[in-house]
Structure 1
Amino acid sequence: MNKLHIFMVMFLISLVMSIQSPIFTPYAAKLGASSVLIGIMLSIASFTNLTGNLIAGPLSDRFGKKVFIIISLFLSGILFIFHALVSSTMNLFVLRALNGFSLAFLVPSGLALLSGYAKNSHQQGKNMAINGILGTSASIIAPLIGGKLGATIGYANTYLIIGGSLILTAIYATSFIKETQHTVVVKGNQSNRLSFLNILQMPQLQVVFVTGFALMYIHGVIIYEVPYLTVEKGLSTATTGQLFSFMGIGTFLSLSLLFINRFNPIKRIMFGLFGMNMVVFIILQGLLSLPVSLFLVGFFFGIIMPAIATALTDSVSNNGYGRAFGVMSAIYSLGMITSSFITGVIRDFISPYFIAFTIGMLALTLIGYSRFQTKTSSPFQAPIEY
């Protein structure tokens, strides 16, 4: 029953946070932000998120995950309400930075808490897949809701709804979430205390971090480019919300294939990253319609994300989950920072999709080389133990 509540909270977080995806860019543009400034705003949020991730990991390991989930939800709810009251791009910039830091405590703490409910790698993969299905279901519904709300009641009022919903979610979490006590079976010997340096130096996790960076870079390009269609082509936010929903449907489909969790996580990572790179190339060349392309992006995104989480938890002990997920979240943020900034600067001169494809293929090459180098010693070569 306790696991049901953390699933519910993670679902509500995904739902509420995804509502803003189709409205932030046009909202910022309405306030007078240029494409470069919008890219900087997205980057600063990711930068402060990265900083918070690195702080959140050790603190959640020491003081527990629940308290940081609740505090983060309350603070983010208040900050989103202030989004509705801004009158200049500078105000929006500051709020994005503060909100990025506040939200940094949510993902690593939530995933670390959820990971504690698994007793082995197979359960770990299943929990992450179910969480992914719920989050993806939210990402299908939320952009439609956000786009419709933005077109109907305006951007400011939509942010009021987002903020209020996060505060209600915080109240729910306060009442029902419990700390976990289970221990995950870990392969190999792990020290009781893992520093950030220890985590970064682990070869099997370096593969995961490279993948996470490339994945978020590609994701960042899409998050930037698709909403910008509302600015360049005069589309409604409802239309961009529908486009994001196609991506969510693709992710939902791949996450629903639970048998995939029985396969080696590194092989799943390589397969998913290769597929995503091919789809980015298709978007670059305009070979398929954008809805179909986004559906395929979502499909391969759903292949990669649970595999990353499983590979991570297979490599560290339970008392290091907070730090490990903190580093992973920081890598995600770094990918978004780089992507948002570069896309905002170069989009008038070169296609951001070309840069995303190049980075994705470079990451895949590095992963393949690393796997070849450690073929005889990698813990991922053995079948996953159930």
Structure 2
Amino acid sequence: MRVFVYLIVFFSFFDLFSQLPIMSPFAFSLGASSFMTGLAVGMYSFSNTIGNVISGFLTDRKGPFIILLVGLFASGASLLLYTLAIGPISLLGIRFVHGFMEGLIVPAAFTFLANRAEESKRGRSVAISGAFVGLAAIVGPAYSGIVATKTSTPFIMSVNGVIMFILAISAFFMLRSFTYVKKHHSKQGKHFRVRYLFQHPGMVRAFAGAFFLMFSQGVLALVLPLKVETLGFDTKTTGMLLSTFGVVAILIFLLPVNRIFDKVRPMITLAFGISMMGVSMLILSQVSELLHLYIAMGLYGVGFSFLFPSINSLLIDSSSPEFRGKAYGYFYAFFSIGVVAGSSLIGYLDLTFKGGFMLTGIILLFVALYTILGMKRSLQLTE
């Protein structure tokens, strides 16, 4: 049962990562401007934010099974709508529906996994889930980048939709035996727990890490495919570059080095991870040789592999099973907001490739510095 939920996590992120090499070129092919292209890339994540928050509340009330089932069926249907895109406006509408429906899946899936993780091994447990995310980051962009050269973006999204339908049917039979004890809370208690999510320092840091992780992903989704095309390469090259960080990340997730996530404080690995991502962005802003682009994406993978388990561990340590659905709902809402902020900001500023990557790198390095300073203040207060 746990392995099947990992599979759901994999395909949810597979759908996300398979969009990265193809969505901005697809928007341009429909006549979108630079701003509309950035909006189209970010619209998925904007509506995904709403779906994440709703999923978190419903997961705590109804349990993860029914939310996963509805999310998988609805996502499958929304993915088929891409065949109806005829212009930028219709694409924005389809992106909104797709993002909202898929936003129901991930908080419920991660709540299921987190509630079954042994406390002493929670670092390695989230590393394993991160490995499935990393695997999706390898397979998704490479698949869509290669297939897009022979077919079309609507075809790729339709294939993803069929996969979601298969998962939904399988989930009905494999997960329905999962028992969920409904909790009864007072209205006042619910409001207290929501406020608590934004008052606990560990939770706030987890939310911030999620936001800036996906802020950088939004910039990559918008800028990298366009830079690669300008350098004379095709979507296949973009897919391989995006897969590079996934290969590096999954190796760190699965090799014995993953024990570091149980032994080292999450704040330390968080600061290291986000600083590596910042350095990779600065490198991307300066280089034009393909080999150097691969090196930069490899560094990004190192940063991703340290940041993702860190923010998940912070969330698990800072929440209880009673309201973990809400915690993951807001957590993945910040994931989605980050993508919207990254792609929309760079699109709105109409920055060059160099400017977009450089601005993102500087922001990430400032966040890493702020994290380190905050950690030092916490140590001083406990002494």
- Normalised by the length of structure 1, the TM-score is 0.89
Taking a change above 3 Å as real, the CA distance of residues 60 and 49 of structure 1, as seen in their structure-2 partners, is same
Q: Any idea what the Cα deviations from partners look like across 1:290-328, whole Å, max 9, x if unmatched? A: 111011101210111011101110111111111111111
> Of 190, 203, 206, which aligns to 1:205?
203
Unaligned runs of 5+ in 2: 182-188
Please say if residues 139 and 243 of structure 2, whose CA atoms lie closer than 8 Å, have aligned partners that are also in contact.
yes
Amino acid of the structure 1 residue aligned with 2:306 = I
Aligned partner of 1:228 in structure 2 is 226
Please say if residues 69 and 106 of structure 1, whose CA atoms lie closer than 8 Å, have aligned partners that are also in contact.
yes
Q: Distance in 2 between matches of 1:196 and 1:333?
A: 19
Q: Distance in 2 between matches of 1:27 and 1:113?
A: 35
- Quote the offset at 1:193 in angstroms: 7.9
Please say if residues 194 and 320 of structure 1, whose CA atoms lie closer than 8 Å, have aligned partners that are also in contact.
no
Whether 2:246 is the aligned partner of 1:248: answer: yes
Taking a change above 3 Å as real, the CA distance of residues 164 and 325 of structure 1, as seen in their structure-2 partners, is same
Please say if residues 247 and 297 of structure 1, whose CA atoms lie closer than 8 Å, have aligned partners that are also in contact.
yes
Between stretches 216-225 and 343-352, larger displacement belongs to 343-352
Q: Distance in 2 between matches of 1:151 and 1:167?
A: 25
Residue pairs, 1:141-220, within 5 angstroms: 141-177=139-175, 179=178, 195-220=193-218
Aligned partner of 1:59 in structure 2 is 58
Please say if residues 64 and 179 of structure 1, whose CA atoms lie closer than 8 Å, have aligned partners that are also in contact.
no
> Of 371, 378, 381, which aligns to 1:374?
378
Whether 2:286 is the aligned partner of 1:281: answer: no
Amino acid of the structure 1 residue aligned with 2:8 = V
> Of 357, 361, 364, which aligns to 1:353?
357
- Quote the offset at 1:48 in angstroms: 1.5
Please say if residues 123 and 259 of structure 2, whose CA atoms lie closer than 8 Å, have aligned partners that are also in contact.
no
Taking a change above 3 Å as real, the CA distance of residues 179 and 115 of structure 1, as seen in their structure-2 partners, is farther
- Quote the offset at 1:248 in angstroms: 1.0
Between stretches 6-15 and 336-345, larger displacement belongs to 6-15
How many residues were matched structurally?
369
Aligned partner of 1:266 in structure 2 is 267
Taking a change above 3 Å as real, the CA distance of residues 280 and 309 of structure 1, as seen in their structure-2 partners, is same
Whether 2:347 is the aligned partner of 1:344: answer: yes
Please say if residues 146 and 236 of structure 2, whose CA atoms lie closer than 8 Å, have aligned partners that are also in contact.
yes
- Normalised by the length of structure 2, the TM-score is 0.89
Amino acid of the structure 1 residue aligned with 2:282 = F
Q: Distance in 2 between matches of 1:20 and 1:43?
A: 11
Q: Any idea what the Cα deviations from partners look like across 1:315-359, whole Å, max 9, x if unmatched? A: 111111111111111211221111111111224457111221222
Please say if residues 192 and 317 of structure 1, whose CA atoms lie closer than 8 Å, have aligned partners that are also in contact.
no
Q: Any idea what the Cα deviations from partners look like across 1:191-225, whole Å, max 9, x if unmatched? A: 89852221101122222222222222122111211
Taking a change above 3 Å as real, the CA distance of residues 211 and 19 of structure 1, as seen in their structure-2 partners, is closer
Aligned partner of 1:113 in structure 2 is 112
Q: CA RMSD, aligned part only?
A: 2.3
Whether 2:97 is the aligned partner of 1:94: answer: no
Residue pairs, 1:15-164, within 5 angstroms: 15-120=14-119, 122-164=120-162
Q: Distance in 2 between matches of 1:304 and 1:290?
A: 21
Between stretches 308-317 and 79-88, larger displacement belongs to 79-88
- Quote the offset at 1:233 in angstroms: 4.4
Choose between structure 1 and 2: higher helix proportion. 2
